[in-house]
Structure 1
């Protein structure tokens, strides 16, 4: 009797060495939020984000899960809007990846199943090697070089999951039990594009003269590229040495030389408040809303006031702030 008990006990121990219970299930996914991005930054480079939970979680530990026949773990991606859809109908393309390095082999192509086993994603994540349960993350990149209007861009990424892997073997590498399942999860994706501009404002040089009245009028221009569809105005600050409602350049000795900047040939002072500002509709080149590409140009005349007293010899400088208001 005791010998039989020992044989039975040995058999149970051997059968147990191949056991590895595991299970996967789908549920609510976490959203992927790119946050707020200026249009200039979006046009210059791709933006990235991730979600730590794409809606599928696996728990338990699997021993060599892919050695059995007919095992797989794959996901198929579809997009509700074929990209991130904005308020004016602009589409911003983005890409989903199953790996943090966002390599092309791990990219999710719409309607094309991605083999997460063949790409090494499952093993790299340890998705089937966590006793406490582990969620599947996803990584995203919004295309750089995009020219879109400001606003909230949204999409819903639908993920169809399918899996079949060995959860127990009966010895000799023969699988005796599989976890087989499928499910669908949805990941909300959003990105906010903010109004922004790039500004080119070359230095202004009056040259050299003996008297304030001898300085010639200097023509200059400021060019900007602002977000597609944006209406804006351009203001010029009063500089660092405003006195008696005039801009002033200052010498190293503290002497002042009064000058001003005027809107084109109109004679209207170009300032930073109210009617002193210039609207995008009033640009001298390409007037109207921002286009996101190209340049809108605003011309100005710069004059040293002739009615001021002579000033000591020296180098006179000032700095004027250019601001954009939407």
Structure 2
């Protein structure tokens, strides 16, 4: 009786049985079809400082600035893969609030001078390329703020907020196929097309700050004595300085000793010569009190000759002074004599 013996022939050199390829191939397909989540995005509170600006600049010009909108992602390894990003503003007064409850309106946008964001509207940013989208500091999405010019503001710090909610599924590994991604809570990543379930997203607050500084607008006309042959022939003159400052701000006004003073005396000089005319400035049209730069020699805004104590940033206070050549000095050579007085305002 013969027996049939089956024998497995060895595989040709350089080949392996096909069954040994199956586990490796299955593992590769599992990795490609089931991407692992990579925590590459962070959402955190952010702030934008619009700077420290004169109250009159805030009154005449919109103040602008930008900062992080709270979402940062490391996308260097997935620039060509599909990503989904959307933003919604949940709450904001769109006002910066400062001293005494005064406010400055502002708008926020995703581009400089762009369309203002509004509460409750979902902004789908998925069509924007990753490099453009995350162009802010540390791979953040920038947000831009712009104020409305507002007058009669008190100096101080003005603050506001923007509560936003980010929805995202950003690919963090892959070129044409996304091998790893990071998503916000509840986001359902679609195979194709626009997401139908953005989930609950992640909320973040963006704080905005603007410091309004005290400032003044000063109008000081030239004080000219005219011409005469002798020192004693010049008559005293009166002029009025107009000053208006930031709302709600009392202040004092000082005059320095000029560019040619000597031994505490103000002097006018004829060009570059060594010829001088001594003169003085007094606090009011009839006063004999010298108007100076320190201590009691200064003038208080409460003692202005007109509109004293009116601090609305729109109304000027008037300070009328008397200027006179000092008697008893020898008449110097003929010439054009002049000096420059600096006015300073202290709050």
Alignment partner of 1:73 out of 57, 61, 86: 86
TM-score scaled by length of structure 2: 0.75
Compared with structure 1, are the counterparts of its residues 23 and 76 closer, same or farther at alpha carbon in structure 2 (3 Å cutoff)?
A: farther
- Match of 1:301, SS state, is strand
Q: Cα deviation per residue 1:30-54 (whole Å; 9 max; x = unaligned)?
A: 22112322223322322222223x2
**Higher strand proportion:** 1
Q: CA deviation at 1:269?
A: 1.7
Compared with structure 1, are the counterparts of its residues 176 and 223 closer, same or farther at alpha carbon in structure 2 (3 Å cutoff)?
A: closer
| Structure 1 partner of 2:165 | 160
Question: Structure 1 residue 113 and structure 2 residue 127: aligned?
Answer: no
Compared with structure 1, are the counterparts of its residues 47 and 117 closer, same or farther at alpha carbon in structure 2 (3 Å cutoff)?
A: same
Question: Structure 1 residue 193 and structure 2 residue 212: aligned?
Answer: yes
Alignment partner of 1:283 out of 296, 299, 304: 304
| Structure 2 partner of 1:84 | 96
Q: Cα deviation per residue 1:275-318 (whole Å; 9 max; x = unaligned)?
A: 22111112222211532223222111211223322221011111
Which stretches of structure 1, 4 residues or more, deviate above 6 A after TM superposition?
10-13, 17-24, 164-169, 176-179
CA RMSD of aligned residues (A): 3.6
Q: Cα deviation per residue 1:121-151 (whole Å; 9 max; x = unaligned)?
A: 5656244x9xxx9322212223334431011
Q: Which runs of 5+ in 2 are unaligned?
A: 1-16, 179-189
Is the contact between residue 253 and residue 299 of structure 2 (CA under 8 Å) also seen in structure 1? yes
Between the aligned partners of 1:295 and 1:284, the Cα distance in structure 2 is 11
- Match of 2:337, SS state, is coil
Alignment partner of 1:262 out of 277, 282, 306: 282
Alignment partner of 2:252 out of 233, 257, 273: 233
Is the contact between residue 268 and residue 277 of structure 2 (CA under 8 Å) also seen in structure 1? yes
- Match of 1:291, SS state, is coil
Alignment partner of 1:149 out of 145, 154, 159: 154
- Match of 1:31, SS state, is strand
Q: CA deviation at 1:86?
A: 0.9
| Structure 2 partner of 1:55 | 70
Is the contact between residue 53 and residue 211 of structure 2 (CA under 8 Å) also seen in structure 1? yes
TM-score scaled by length of structure 1: 0.79
Structure ID, larger Rg: 2
